[in-house]
Structure 1
Amino acid sequence: MEVEAETPVTDEIVELITDEVVESSTEPKSEEKGYLARDEYTSERFKLELNNLPKYFGFGDLKKKLKQLGVSFVKIKVPQQATHAYVNFRNEEDREKGMKLLTGWSYRGNKVEVSHAKPATDIMFRAKPAKKNDNRRDQKIDNEMESDLPDEVKIQNSATPLWNLTYEEQLTKKATIVQEFLRGLEQKIKETSSKTVTIPFEGVKPSPIIDGYRNKCEFSCGKGNNSEDKVVGFRYGQYSSGIDRVGSPSVCKNVSDSMKLVVQHFQDFIRSRSSPWYSAETHLGCWRQLTVRESRLNHLLLMIAFCQGQLTSEEIEQEKKDLLNYFTINNGSICKVTNIIFNVEKNKAGNELIQSEILLGDSYIVEKLFDFQFHVSPKAFFQANTQGAEVLYSLIKDSMKLDNETVVLDICCGTGTIGITLANNVKQVIGIEMIKDAVEDAKRNAQLNNINNIEFIADKIENVIHKLVNKYENQRLVAILDPPRAGVHRKVIQTLRSAENIKVLGYIACNPQLATHNLLDLTRPRSRAYQGEAFEAITSTAVDLFPHTPHYELFILFQR
């Protein structure tokens, strides 16, 4: 799960901190919190620490309880496996009001201790090794950055860690990783149910395309490892680890030749401009990010994130005009770009969008998946490996034995890709997705493909599942769950468990470790919390959608 640097003040979020930064009892040096001196909003100025929280609690539940108390927060930060949390506020008034509301508050039997919290250390200083208690992970990264490895090797190690293995070796390595995960899951199931289980593993299905498979990439603008200015590419490591240098993707095997050509020409263009690149450390500069999406139908979309800086409206308009001319008339025309979207943002943490303008083409591209076509907007979720997605969706169809008597519940359906590609093989598909914009995209995609036996519902699964189960009680009802990488809230699993007409469930995990809690809840014994017969893991198969990286998709078929 990615942790954003700072969100717009209108958003309320819960963050899971995977690498907790333990702040010292002494105040860090002033430059380590230099961001506080800048003339910009940061919720780190207004922060409370909650201690003595229950050992196990849900992020969503904590957020809900704080809202019920009337606490007006911006975000909540929860370190992994911790009994404390940080609550950030918009201003001093909201923080002090929160302090009063939370003083003496008991949460699930624990009397919560509340106190003012110090601002976090600037990310760029966290990664610097201290004289004592060095962070081994940061030190390892620093050592690699300071080594004599060529930049081409460093950038591949960062973007595609398995680049130096043959593809057969990569598949073997991933098979080992999956088997180790499954053995651990079997042990956890035994601990929760006192039942010995074995989850059959059918291996790793390879990607049909190994190199240049990504249909979407996000490239940063910044300074190169050798201090070259205005480099466009990937960072040599995570910014959260203190790494802000950028390297060319020209050697990265997962990036297509057409994307590499775009990156090179975009870099040439911004180097010809007087406006500077954007620094995530100082929040100064203009050229921040280039997002590229391409399709099998030869559509090529560029989305530019441009911070206004000190430029006037007229100067920004000139940048747009010259960019458009460069990619349509001048040297960049060789890239054959079909769509350009130019987003102007404020120079502040959170990159608040001021203006979005389509300079060329439509606001979306069209992608082909099997014999279907999908409108894909710049920020929409679509599997990064289109041909790999076809392997995954074929696996789902075959494993679940779908036929024209089957009704499919497509849970967390997003823009409808799974349900639409399966619709012609089943009686009915009902897609459920809580993000309304995604549901509107899904409806348009169904119309685009003349799919009439599909319905999309914009709601939470727990609000609609029982009505749907009752409606199709005499049908073969199966569920497909394709959640975000951290899985779904336990209430969703509890709801699915109680819907006993669902006998077959397919779970797609892009990060099985983070989804472990869902997989355990599906299989744990019947109880007051989990009212319904437990599911049993019948088979599992991995699909390699991300060659040259450790990532994969794991499909587990459950039955009861």
Structure 2
Amino acid sequence: VNRGPDGNPKTVGLYVGTGRGQNIVCVRTDHLKNIPLKHKQVAQCYEQFIRRSLLGSCVLFHEGGHWRELVVRTSQHGHTMAIVTFHPQQLGQEALAAQKALLREFFTCGPGAACALTSLYFQESTMTRCSHERSPFQLLHGEPHIFEDVLGLKFRISPDAFFQVNTSGAEVLYQAVRELSQAAGDTVLLDVCCGTGTIGLSLARHVSKVIGVEIVQKAIEDARWNAAFNGISNCEFHSGKAEAVLPELLSSWEDARPLVAVVNPSRAGIHHRVVKAIRSCRAIRRLLYISCKPEGEAMRNFLDCSVAQGLPCLLQQALPQLCGGG
């Protein structure tokens, strides 16, 4: 949500321009072929709702306003999850409840009902990004999760859990990970930043054990549910920051089985303590790093792997982007 080309601050779409250039505008996505029709429909309805609202949009926190970004998630099952982020400013609980009721009514009984949402979530947040633990995602309507199928497995997805937006592309990516890992039946797979467990669970039948690490607690709950639902028993998932979990886990590693590490972090990359822990573990035979923005912080991680203290890491292969978006 930001100012559109016509200056309307209640425009819902995607950003064009840069903050440095001070020329950011928000443009609608109607003309974009790589945006699903359902996403466009929900965005149009949300724009209609906030333009009717007596409350303003929140473009810059210090300037006030309330209505912020919209996240839309869809699956091949036909499920649609919409997540509205709202800055409470100085509103009391009674006023907040009234706004949530209006939003729910719009998407269940009003014009937004045409979207047929599976889940409608609302999050009160005073930060750009906020976890469920800091500010809970409140379910206003529908089911708490949506579901997606990947490589014959069914995955449950919570509102704040990472999941690749291009499912078909993700399947190509995970198959490439399987081939590049060269994992055999005695291999232990270490899945760093595992999200809902998609990579580890998709490779579980090819390895002896999967260990997943993820900072988002709800994603870990999803991963454990996904493993149980799909009848996969050789997986364990640890909740916490990778830089806190991995050094302790790997420093005491005594398993004789070969270990393959797969790292799939956000654009922020991985902490230097994670790099050090991986380089210090002699059991790790192969490291796969997946990045949606290799020219950013990932490049710093690549350099750290080459020059930091510990065992040497030799780059063997670099592949172009296999999965559209992250």
TM-score interval (norm. to shorter) = 0.7 to 0.9
The structure 1 residue matched to 2:301, chosen from 518, 524, 527, is 518
Partner amino acid, structure 2, of 1:530: Q
Partner amino acid, structure 1, of 2:258: R
Partner amino acid, structure 1, of 2:301: N
Contact kept? 1:388, 1:543, Cα under 8 Å: no
2:319 is matched with which residue? Answer: 541
1:462 is matched with which residue? Answer: 247
2:67 aligned with 1:287: yes
The structure 2 residue matched to 1:230, chosen from 4, 7, 10, is 10
In the TM superposition, residue 463 of structure 1 has moved relative to its aligned partner by 1.0
In the TM superposition, residue 390 of structure 1 has moved relative to its aligned partner by 0.8
Task: Please tell me whether Structure 1 or Structure 2 has the larger radius of gyration of its CA atoms.
Answer: 1
Show CA shifts across 1:131-164 (max 9, x none).
xxxxxxxxxxxxxxxxxxxxxxxxxxxxxxxxxx
2:35 aligned with 1:255: yes
Secondary structure in 2 matching 1:250: coil
In the TM superposition, residue 337 of structure 1 has moved relative to its aligned partner by 0.9
In the TM superposition, residue 461 of structure 1 has moved relative to its aligned partner by 1.2
Secondary structure in 2 matching 1:227: coil
Q: Which has the higher contact order (CA 8 A, sep 6+)?
A: 1
Change in Cα spacing, 1:456 to 1:256, as seen in structure 2 (3 Å) is same
Unaligned 5+ runs, structure 2: none
Partner amino acid, structure 2, of 1:366: F
Contact kept? 1:299, 1:366, Cα under 8 Å: yes
Contact kept? 1:391, 1:543, Cα under 8 Å: no
How many residues in Structure 1 have an aligned counterpart in Structure 2?
Answer: 319
Change in Cα spacing, 1:308 to 1:443, as seen in structure 2 (3 Å) is same
Contact kept? 1:278, 1:307, Cα under 8 Å: yes
Change in Cα spacing, 1:312 to 1:520, as seen in structure 2 (3 Å) is closer
In the TM superposition, residue 460 of structure 1 has moved relative to its aligned partner by 2.1
Show CA shifts across 1:313-343 (max 9, x none).
4444333333222222232222111111122
2:203 aligned with 1:422: yes
2:277 is matched with which residue? Answer: 495
Determine the C-alpha separation between the residues in 2 that align with 1:444 and 1:326. Answer: 32
2:309 aligned with 1:530: yes
In the TM superposition, residue 281 of structure 1 has moved relative to its aligned partner by 6.3
In the TM superposition, residue 360 of structure 1 has moved relative to its aligned partner by 0.7
Summarize the alignment of residues 79-94 of structure 1 with structure 2, pairs less than 5 Å apart: none
Determine the C-alpha separation between the residues in 1 that align with 2:53 and 2:272. Answer: 51
Secondary structure in 1 matching 2:315: strand
Summarize the alignment of residues 153-552 of structure 1 with structure 2, pairs less than 5 Å apart: 220=1, 222-228=2-8, 230-239=10-19, 241-243=21-23, 245-280=25-60, 282-308=62-88, 313-345=93-125, 356-433=137-214, 436-458=217-239, 459-468=244-253, 470-471=254-255, 473=256, 475-513=257-295, 514-524=297-307, 530-532=309-311, 534-546=312-324
Determine the C-alpha separation between the residues in 2 that align with 1:503 and 1:343. Answer: 42
Determine the C-alpha separation between the residues in 1 that align with 2:281 and 2:145. Answer: 38
Determine the C-alpha separation between the residues in 1 that align with 2:306 and 2:90. Answer: 57
- TM-score, scaled to structure 2: 0.85
1:112 is matched with which residue? Answer: none
In the TM superposition, residue 393 of structure 1 has moved relative to its aligned partner by 0.5
| Higher mean C-alpha deviation, range 318-327 or range 444-453 | 318-327
Change in Cα spacing, 1:349 to 1:397, as seen in structure 2 (3 Å) is closer
Determine the C-alpha separation between the residues in 2 that align with 1:489 and 1:417. Answer: 22
Determine the C-alpha separation between the residues in 2 that align with 1:378 and 1:238. Answer: 28
Determine the C-alpha separation between the residues in 2 that align with 1:323 and 1:436. Answer: 27
Unaligned 5+ runs, structure 1: 1-219, 547-551, 554-560
Summarize the alignment of residues 23-42 of structure 1 with structure 2, pairs less than 5 Å apart: none
Partner amino acid, structure 2, of 1:340: L
Secondary structure in 1 matching 2:140: strand
Contact kept? 1:388, 1:545, Cα under 8 Å: yes
Contact kept? 1:231, 1:246, Cα under 8 Å: yes
In the TM superposition, residue 402 of structure 1 has moved relative to its aligned partner by 2.5
Show CA shifts across 1:337-362 (max 9, x none).
1111122346x888997775311123
Summarize the alignment of residues 67-106 of structure 1 with structure 2, pairs less than 5 Å apart: none
Percentage of identical aligned residues: 33
Determine the C-alpha separation between the residues in 2 that align with 1:351 and 1:494. Answer: 28
Show CA shifts across 1:450-476 (max 9, x none).
2101112345211111333x12x1x23
1:106 is matched with which residue? Answer: none
Partner amino acid, structure 2, of 1:251: H
Secondary structure in 2 matching 1:383: coil
Contact kept? 1:341, 1:357, Cα under 8 Å: yes
Contact kept? 2:65, 2:89, Cα under 8 Å: yes
Change in Cα spacing, 1:282 to 1:531, as seen in structure 2 (3 Å) is closer
Question: RMSD value over aligned CA atoms?
Answer: 2.9
Change in Cα spacing, 1:261 to 1:421, as seen in structure 2 (3 Å) is same
In the TM superposition, residue 418 of structure 1 has moved relative to its aligned partner by 0.8
- TM-score, scaled to structure 1: 0.52
Change in Cα spacing, 1:351 to 1:444, as seen in structure 2 (3 Å) is closer
In the TM superposition, residue 398 of structure 1 has moved relative to its aligned partner by 1.5
Partner amino acid, structure 1, of 2:42: V
Determine the C-alpha separation between the residues in 2 that align with 1:388 and 1:419. Answer: 17
Contact kept? 2:148, 2:154, Cα under 8 Å: yes
Determine the C-alpha separation between the residues in 1 that align with 2:109 and 2:217. Answer: 39
